[in-house]
Amino acid sequence: MSLPSSAPRVSASQDAVSQVRPGDETRPIPLQMAPRRRGKPPRHFADLSADERVASVVEAGEKPFRAKQLATHYFTHFTSDPEEMTDLPAASRAALAETMFPQLIRPTKVMEADGGTTVKTLWHLFDDAKVESVLMRYPHRTTLCVSSQAGCGMACPFCATGQLGLTRNLSTAEILEQVRAAFRALDRGEIPGGPARLNNLVFMGMGEPLANYKAIIETVRTLVAPQPDGLGMSARNITVSTVGLVPAMRKLADEGIPVTLALSLHAPDDDLRSELVPINTRWSVDEAIDAARHYYEVSGRRVSIEYALIKDMNDHGWRADLLAKKLNARGKGWVHVNPIPLNPTPGSIWTASDREVEDEFVARLRGHGIPTTIRDTRGSDIDGACGQLAAEEDDE
C-alpha cells in the first residue's frame, strides 16, 4: 500500500535509530481553545487608547491634560505610585491613581540566577490566576520574556504550561504591567550592572500569544508607541512566538508592525509533530511553514524557527535534513533556526539531547545552508521554563 504524500518516508537506517514517542510517558490531553474563566480584570490606564485616557480623566473630574501627565509617569517613569506624582494636585492624586491604576498583578515568588542578572517572577493576578515572567540581563542587552495567557490550551506534552491547561487570556494591561515592572527594575538599578533600559521583549512565556490576538496586538502597539504615549520600543526588538496558528500568523503579517515571528516547530514531519504540538492536527507542518514564509514576504523580517531538542525523539540527523529541505524549498535567507536544549530531566523521556547529537543536528542544518544558533537557556537552576513555578505552587 502506498503512503499518502504527507506521511514521512522512513528508511531502513532511520528505523534502526533509537526513537522515543511522547505517548511513551505522557498521556495526551485535548486542545483547549476556550478558557476556563472569562472574568475580566478592572479597567486600567494601560488598556486605553490616548483618546480614551483623556475621556477617562475628564470623567474622573480632572482636566484633559492630566492624561498626558499620567502617561508620562506610567510610560516614562514607570510608576503608578501616587506619592511619586508630585505634579498632580495633592488632594486628588491618590483617588486618580486608584481609579486609573488598579493593582492587576502582584509578585508572590521571585527567583534569581546568574548572579542576580536572571530574575524569574511568579505573579498572581486579580483573580489569583498565575503567570510568570523572566528578565535577563546580558553584557550588552536586556531581554524580558512575558506571559500572554494564564496557562495554555495548546497541550504540548513537553511544556509545563501546556500541562496546566488554559485558565484565561490576559488583558492588555496585565501584559504591560509585566513589562513596566521590568522597565522599572532596570531603570532603578535593581538588576546588577547599574541602571539600564529594556531592549528586547519576547512573547515566549506562558500561553499561546496568537490565541490572545487582540490583547497581543494592542500590547505591541503600546510597546512601540513613542513615550509618553507608550514605551518607545523598537518593533524589531519584539518577538511574537506561536505554535502555528496559521490564520493568525497571516493576519499578523497584515498588521504592518515589523515584529519578529518565531514558529515553534519542534518536528519537521507531521507524524511526530502532531503528538508534540497537537495544533498540528489542524494546521500541518507545511501549512505552518508556508504561513511563516508569507510573513517574511510581507514584512521583510526573517522568521525564527524554534526547535526544542529532545533526546531520541526529534533530534535525529534525518529530521535535521528534512527540516532543512522544507525550509530551503521555500527559498534562501528568509529563516533562522534556533535549536533549544531541553533542561536535563534524569529518568524522563523529556530530557536534553546528548551534546554530540546536538552538535550533529546543528552541523547538518548549517551544512544545508540554514543559519542556526543554539538558543541560550538561562535559568535552568530556577525552573527556567515558564509554567514550572505555577505548577509547583499548585502542587503545594
Residue with C-alpha cell 498540528? 280
Runs of H (alpha helix) within the chain = 12-15, 50-59, 66-75, 93-100, 172-187, 213-224, 246-253, 270-276, 285-299, 317-328, 355-367, 388-395
- Report how far Cα 137 is from the mean position of its chain's Cα atoms: 17
- Write b or e for each residue in 342-361: b if 16 or more Cβ atoms lie within 10 A of its Cβ, otherwise e: bbeeeeebbbbbeeebbebb
Q: Is 208 annotated as a binding residue?
A: yes
Instruction: Find out whether 266 is annotated in a ligand binding site.
Output: yes
Choosing from 132, 177, 275, 306, the catalytic residue is: 132
DSSP 93: H
Going by their DSSP bridges, the two strands 166-169 and 149-151 should be labelled as antiparallel
368 is in an annotated binding site: no
Q: Among this protein's residues, is 145 annotated catalytic?
A: no
- Give the whole-angstrom CA distance, residue 242 versus residue 256: 18
Catalytic residue among 145, 174, 275, 386: 386
Per the annotation, does 156 bind a ligand? yes
Here the cell at position 19 is 526513537
**Cell numbers linked to 140:** 550588552
To the question of whether residue 145 is assigned a binding role by annotation, the answer is no
User: What gap in Å lies between CA 220 and CA 232, rounded to an integer?
Assistant: 10
HSE of 36 in the Cβ direction (CA atoms, 13 Å)? 12
**Residue 152, marked binder:** yes
Q: List 309's β-bridge partners, or say none.
A: 341
Q: At what angle do helices 317-328 and 355-367 cross, to 10 degrees?
A: 30
Annotated binding site for [4Fe-4S] cluster: 152, 156, 159
Annotated binding site: 152, 156, 159, 207-208, 241, 264-266, 343
Q: Which residues are catalytic?
A: 132, 386
Annotated binding site for S-adenosyl-L-methionine: 207-208, 241, 264-266, 343
